[in-house]
Amino acid sequence: MTSPSSDKTSAAHHHHHHHSRAVWQRWVVRRIRYHADHPVWLWLTAALVGTLAGFATLGFRLSILGVQGLLYGSSEERLASTAAALHWGHIWIAPVIGGLTVGALLYLAERAKALGEVRAQSVAEVIEARAVGKGNIGFGPGLYSAAITAVSLGSGASAGREGPAVHLGAALASLLSRTLNLGERNARTLLACGAAGAVAASFNAPLAGLLFALEVVLGHYALRVIAPTAVAATAGAVVTRSFLGAQPAFDLPPVPGASLIDYPAAVLLGLLCAGLAIVFVTLMVKGPYHVQKLAARFGVPLWALPPMGGVLIGLIGIVFPQVLGVGYEATSTALHGGYGLILLLLLLCAKIIATMVSLSFRFGGGMFSPSIYLGAMVGAAFGALVGMLLGEAAAPAFFAIVGMGALSGAVLGAPISTTLIVFELTQSYEASVAVLLAVSLATVVTQAITRGNIFQKQIELRGYTLRDGPQRLILQTVRVRDFMTPISRLKKEISMAGAVLYADDTLGKALGLLKAENLDGAPVKSRFGEQKVIGYISREDALLAYNQRLVEEHEERSG
């Protein structure tokens, strides 16, 4: 037994130790905050984020292959031929086992409140965090989503692996921003760095990583963010290169030279891709919505959906094992001209159905791989048709590559990054020019009809409009409590006669109400408890808050 005095000294010693650590932490934080805006410091942080995102992407890919090895007996990237060699019962049961596992994971997540909704997260959440959530993504949900997605894709669910990798990279970036206390603006920049590192690592394509982050995640090209994002993209690509060598995600045939007739043909293919992209985006947004409504009507909890989806995916997989999983082996086969016209058209339909089922029944996964797959199939089919009619146009491989770029660009609303991915994968200048033609056209037509890319549509289901630039968003995201005068600081009495606002009402609602009722101001109540009056807003306050946000937003986009 120790004497009380020795106990006291150890406590004092411990206290001293704790105190010195607190001082040290405070010094570190002050130094870091002092340097956070310094370009060099931001570059170093960006390089770290890119490297982390690169490793995360690698680990994620390996875990998908690991799950696939457990369920299909081969952890090669060749799921289509592996599955085709198996007994039909085996093909059918694998996605069902995957579905049961994903269902269990979602159930646990719902119990532990680990995810915002009962689904794995992807790119839409990253964009939402940039636009609405001050650049914050929880690290827990990030890891949890990655686990759900790895099980989903490894067990044969038809979806993409790049979107979830972007989400994981962004979650790591967000964790770092919080740890270093970097402030909102830098947090958003690092979010882009995480996304850039992940895309660069996925495709071994640093330029595409940089542009994807600017085009899709940030939605602007301010000079200030370009340098750190470029550093992160390079770091991400270096990680993949050092581990996997310089080979891209799928092996491409040497691209034949294009004849003049191929460019007008590429424009035509662009229109075809637009039609398909519109169908795809609409189904991917409507499918989950209607399945959710049906589940509610029959009283099925959302976490119970994946096993049911697994049954359906297994049935499709028995007939068309080519649509299982990420589908890059089948994409390669199509690029090499290995499928006939009829099979290509059948695979197109099967892939759309399988992807819609996978995402509607809450398997995890992204949109990129399926849209690349569909683009390659429609391009190869188009090439086969052109070959039949004209007999002398470029090989189907050329059009398969053009289709791949045009369709995925139109779905993601990212024409520049997809053109660059194609350029970095093929290193063919002619193919890239044809892709640029086709993808610009496809994107314009698709956006005109679907009003926004697939991520914006997913975010719209949650009640935010990103299409019309920052004005609408500010009205939807700034809350009354952010700019009201608290009751304690109020000089005058407030009349309770007119309209009343709640603390969590949006700025848009406040402005609308004051204008409609022709009021100079209104009291603010708390929505919870006894609904006490907690503050007051005047019309000037509201307009000032709006103006200030617009100015900040403009500075960020042009700085």
DSSP code for 545: H
Residues 6+ apart with CB under 8 A from 245: none
pLDDT above 70 covers a percentage of the chain that reads 87
pLDDT at 23 over 50: yes
| The pLDDT of residue 272 | 95
Instruction: Tell the CATH topology of 470-558.
Output: CBS domain Like (3.90.1280)
Q: pLDDT (tens digit, 9 = 90+) per residue, 221-276?
A: 888 889 999 999 999 999 988 887 766 556 677 776 667 778 888 999 999 999 99
Query: What strands, in cross-sheet order, belong to the sheet with 521-525?
Result: 485-486, 533-538, 521-525, 501-502
262-460 and 470-558 share one fold: no
pLDDT at 49: 96
Low-confidence winner among 74-83, 392-401, 437-446 (lowest mean pLDDT)? 392-401
> What ranges do the domains of the chain cover?
31-244, 262-460, 470-558
E strand or H helix that includes residue 523? strand 521-525
> In this prediction, what percent of the chain has a pLDDT beyond 90?
38
**Rg of the chain on CA atoms, in Å:** 26
Among 32-46, 199-213, 386-400, the range of highest mean pLDDT: 199-213
Return the HEC string of 185-205: HHHHHHHHHHHHHHHHHHHCC
- Is residue 161 within 8 Å of residue 230, measured between CB atoms? no
Fold of 262-460: Clc chloride channel (1.10.3080)
- Per residue in 321-369, pLDDT (tens digit) is 999 999 888 988 888 888 888 999 999 999 999 999 999 999 989 899 9
230, 49 contact by CB (below 8 A): no
What is the per-residue pLDDT for 539?
79
- In whole angstroms, give the CA distance from residue 104 to residue 444: 41
Distance from C-alpha of 269 to C-alpha of 274, rounded to nearest angstrom: 9
Instruction: Give the 3-state secondary structure of residue 233.
Output: helix
Contact 525, 501 (CB under 8 A): yes
Q: Is the pTM of this model over 0.75?
A: yes
pLDDT value, residue 505:
80
468 touches 480 (CB < 8 A): no
Report the CATH architecture of 31-244: Orthogonal Bundle (1.10)
DSSP string, 8-77: HHHHHHHHHHHHHHHHHHHHHHHHHHHHTTSHHHHHHHHHHHHHHHHHHHHHHHHHHHHHHHHHHS--SS
Query: From CA 222, how far away is CA 208, in angstroms rounded?
Result: 17
Q: Does residue 517 contact residue 498 with C-beta atoms inside 8 Å?
A: yes
Lowest mean pLDDT among 125-139, 303-317, 470-484, 499-513: 470-484
